[in-house]
Structure 1
């Protein structure tokens, strides 16, 4: 029997897991990568390349290695808990080599156009036009997955800043920033308080004469260093806390999140307290507060206008003699190879069923992978998306009707309104565990916690109260990995290993839950008790 062919656009994290998911389902993948190497966003280059993601040299992961790994390939135990971009690229290469994925990738090949086959209504096929070394080729595929990434095309809203065209200094987007040396002695204004804006401000202030960081809104900021010195996400991404957040009243969830946020440092004291804690995705940075304390970074509100050498702000203040303005204003999602008449992409309102499949497409043969913003690891998320997509393509789980898909989008919009205060522009934001469980349940890969608590209580307790690591989604169902249980039970060994470099003996044997969980779990446990009592009284 001839294998069905799947085109994968991009060989980053999404593309690599896409190749592997195809192989697991007996499909024939062909991945097109315009660069000469894998890694996508995590592949640092000294110069900006058109149509490719671009990062700064000092970029470090915001999520620790045990949550940022792939579900059936733990990171080497000697890898640091938070990975510099070069280290994570090394991990991606180890993954690709281990599962023999490289032979399915066509490097230095650009996808120029994707069109429906002339007989699409019956076969659902796609015609893909590519270019390599000046030569174009056209190939028919049974399915297409877009894994080109959401951090490629910079959003530079110059029209929103009056008289910015009068400014005579240097203007650039954070995408163009690589290293701080060229800003030595400069006075720099950074616009935008996201992860990039915070990172650039923290780094640039070591070279620049002064750094100003402008933001219209505050932000929820976490440090990588969590309770008791453990990686913060180990106690933050748990099923128990997530269950309380989803079942308890929204006000309680907001209160607990705000408490966790301010336990690290008082955001109001640093003038970055968010107006609504859920309106903007959190960022991860431990250096910015100390830079603000030292006066190396000065926080500023929104900008009203520019002059030739200065910027004026909504509070009436002004900064003169500016040399550089950096817009850390994010990215817009574009697909130059895809005509709107084929699929009209609208990431402001949402157009993807399960954040994967175009809602109006009648054949399940085209998928967008990785165009999401989870408060959690992206690697595990794109992996489960690929697994879900390929099984839907093969007809191994139900394809809902057009009405059902549209109804789901409406429900998602209502949910975003409830959680974030607005639905506009939030269609990519997801609750990590809820989303992972939803897709996993569709492909029978969601762990049965109640069954595990009865048959394997140590594992069951770690899964419910401990960190929700990707290995959980390889315990059962298609793609089951025999090493999943062992990976979960030994994850703390890999967390501790890179820190034990002095040959010191361990003083305390670790229980099934790390000490850092106890103060984290206690308030959530009390909330659960109150919730149960309220339900019991009402009943």
Structure 2
């Protein structure tokens, strides 16, 4: 082994980091404060200090083909969207099959990470850990922070006048685990992210009334998209990314809004975002529109004030006799074991070069950060500056090491694979086709990904299994200029 790397957290990112270190000849030491791998996906029926928390009913919003480790496909009979227990099963299987567990120190807390006294000469870090009441200090050549950023809840209590007088129960969505204690209650959910929507929908089946208060609204998407396929396998493609990047912004924005409103008209459900074209992360919930349509969930604007028993909304309406307020108001970025000089947060913007590393000169890094930050603020909004465009980001990083798929070369040498890579889902296998870490099974994994997608749904075989056709996408690309001209004509005439 060569240089030593400390890895904080044994979740999905931590395990990937351990694996990559081994591939590059580094010695990884992973510190995990719990007693198992999984990170966010290791469910506990109670919240644990310093760890992300999920509720019992959580399912993934990304499909199995789009969120797998790049050389470890999910079993073909696994559902496309998984309950957290199924995902945890896969994560543990990966750690065991790749022999990663021996590099993990469980029930070990990282309390401090600092530059060593000779950092300018050695580039080394001092990592202080605690286990069984004892502290230990070790030197490492590199440190990878893989502990996530859904740990420290944002409770904006100061933003709600009168909340200090409210007599009902208040909790953050982080503390929500199951609906059992809310039977017959009147519930106010503040926020409209994935957690807020999931919790509101779940509680609406047994609570007396559930109201969602949202300041800015949100697009709501179904996991089920075109022809019933998983949304990300249809939407997250190189072809779609190419169109989004070459189209004028006003056309791209118009198409985005039109697509978001295909399922239902958001303005009719009180969900229309204030900034419609903003690429803020949509809410993925297959039931929310139906619950609103059935009257079991109601959407209201921002809250102007609380009284002892009620909330007053911006439109003047009042929600009386509230039993519980659930703040689904997100999380703050906090890494208490790191000095502020290592990761700086500017107006809740985490300023990281390429979102990870610190290699070039400071002015060059900041120029790159500011350029990317401008795009992120435009696409995702102020509160999502760690979010990034998946394909652009992965291509940028993989091009540094020679792992970015060479599309023109593939069209010349392997047209069948090239069509799937360009028009099909940009699944993780693509980044194991060439370069360091090349996996011999990547081509087959890409060409068989649709079979694994329909396997768990075709439990009653009727007719021949269908899948998206590249011919349709190719024709759509050829005729797109005609469609664009028609759109422009409609706008201006």
The 1:417–1:509 alpha-carbon spacing in structure 2 relative to 1, beyond 3 Å, is closer
Q: In the alignment, what sits opposite 1:403? A: 363
TM-score by length of 2: 0.94
- State TM-score, norm by structure 1: 0.87
Match in the other structure for 2:440: 482
Residue 526 of structure 1 and its aligned partner are, at CA, apart by 3.6
Distance 1:351 1:76 in 2: 38
Hey, what does 1:413 align to over in structure 2?
373
SS at match of 2:58: coil
Aligned to 1:527: 480
Distance across 2 between alignment mates of 1:21 and 1:350: 24
The answer as to 2:397 corresponding to 1:439 is yes
2:340 maps to 340
The match for 2:463 among 507, 521, 526 is 507
Partner-residue secondary structure (3-state), 1:298: strand
Partner of 1:97: 96
Change beyond 3 A, Cα 1:524–1:252: farther
- 8 Å CA contact retained: 1:250, 1:419: no
Q: Distance in 2 between matches of 1:51 and 1:193?
A: 24
Q: Tell me by how many angstroms 1:402 deviates.
A: 2.2
| Cross-structure match for 1:537 | none
Aligned length: 485
Note the 1:50-449 alignment, pairs <5 A. Answer: 50-279=49-278, 280-346=280-346, 348-357=348-357, 364=358, 399-420=359-380, 424-449=382-407
Q: CA deviation at 1:457?
A: 0.4
The whole-number CA distance in structure 1 between the counterparts of 2:251 and 2:431 is 29
| TM-aligned CA deviation for residue 425 of structure 1 | 3.6
Shift in CA distance, 10/317, structure 1 to aligned 2, threshold 3 Å: same
Q: Are positions 1:11 and 2:5 aligned together?
A: no
Instruction: Report what 1:373 is aligned to.
Output: none
Cα offset, 1:70, TM superposition? 1.1
8 Å contact kept, 1:350–1:409: no
1:409 deviates by: 1.4
Q: Give yes or no for contact 1:241–1:521 (8 Å, CA) kept in 2.
A: no
Assess if the C-alpha contact under 8 Å between 2:344 and 2:350 holds in 1. no
SS at match of 2:438: coil
How far is the alpha carbon of 1:428 from its aligned partner?
A: 1.4
State how far apart, in whole Å, the 2-side matches of 1:18 and 1:472 are.
Answer: 18
Mapped to 2, the partners of 1:163 and 1:480 lie a distance apart of 59
Contact 1:184 1:208 in 2 (8 A): yes
Inter-partner Cα distance in structure 2 for 1:115 and 1:54:
27
Moved over 6 A (4+): 517-522, 529-532
Contact 2:213-2:302 within 8 A present in 1 as well? yes
State how far apart, in whole Å, the 2-side matches of 1:156 and 1:419 are: 25
Q: Give me the whole-angstrom Cα distance separating, in 2, the residues matched to 1:108 and 1:473.
A: 33
* SS at structure 1 position matched to 2:65: helix
Q: Answer whether contact 2:14 2:146 (CA < 8 A) is retained.
A: yes
For 2:343 and 2:180, the matched residues in 1 are separated by 43
Q: Deviations over 1:187-231 (max 9, x none)?
A: 000000000001001101111111000001121111011122221
Q: 1:94 to 1:43 in 2, by over 3 A?
A: same
Evaluate the alpha carbon distance shift between residue 347 and residue 45 of structure 1 in structure 2; reply closer, same or farther with a 3 A threshold. Answer: farther
Are the aligned partners of 1:248 and 1:531 in contact in 2 as well (CA < 8 Å)?
A: no
- Correspondent of 2:424 among 466, 470, 474: 466
In the alignment, the residues of structure 2 paired with residue 165 and residue 303 of structure 1 have an alpha-carbon distance, to the nearest angstrom, of 14
Look up the SS of the partner of 1:263 in the other structure: coil
In structure 2, distance between residues paired with 1:524 and 1:263 = 21
What 5-or-longer segments of structure 2 have no aligned partner?
486-493
| Cα contact 2:377–2:385 (8 A) shared by 1 | no
Distance in 1 (CA, whole Å) between partners of 2:347 and 2:318 is: 35
State the alpha-carbon separation in 2 of the partners of residues 196 and 509 from structure 1: 34
Q: Deviations over 1:62-104 (max 9, x none)?
A: 0111111111110001100101000001110111111111110
Unaligned runs of 5+ in 1: 358-363, 365-398, 533-539
Cα distance in 2, alignment partners of residues 520 and 53 from structure 1: 40
- Shift in CA distance, 521/36, structure 1 to aligned 2, threshold 3 Å: farther
- Between the two structures, name the one with larger relative contact order (CA 8 Å, sep ≥ 6): 1
Query: For residues 54 and 417 of structure 1, do their structure 2 counterparts lie closer, same or farther at Cα, with a shift above 3 Å needed?
Result: closer
Residues 445-477 of structure 1, C-alpha deviation per residue, up to 9 Å, x if partnerless?
Answer: 000111111110010011111111110000000
- Please tell me whether the aligned partners of residues 238 and 421 of structure 2 are also in contact (alpha carbons under 8 angstroms): yes
What is residue 536 of structure 1 aligned with on the other side?
A: none
Select between 339-348 and 174-183 the one with higher mean Cα deviation. 339-348
* 8 A contact 1:311–1:318 mirrored in 2: yes
In the aligned structure 1, how far is the partner of 2:202 from the partner of 2:322? 18
Q: How far did residue 139 of structure 1 move?
A: 0.6
Which deviates the most, 411-420 or 256-265? 411-420
Output the CA distance in 2 between the equivalents of 1:60 and 1:522: 35
Task: Report the Cα distance in structure 2 between the residues aligned to 1:521 and 1:64, rounded to whole angstroms.
Answer: 24
Which residue pairs with 2:451 in the alignment? 493
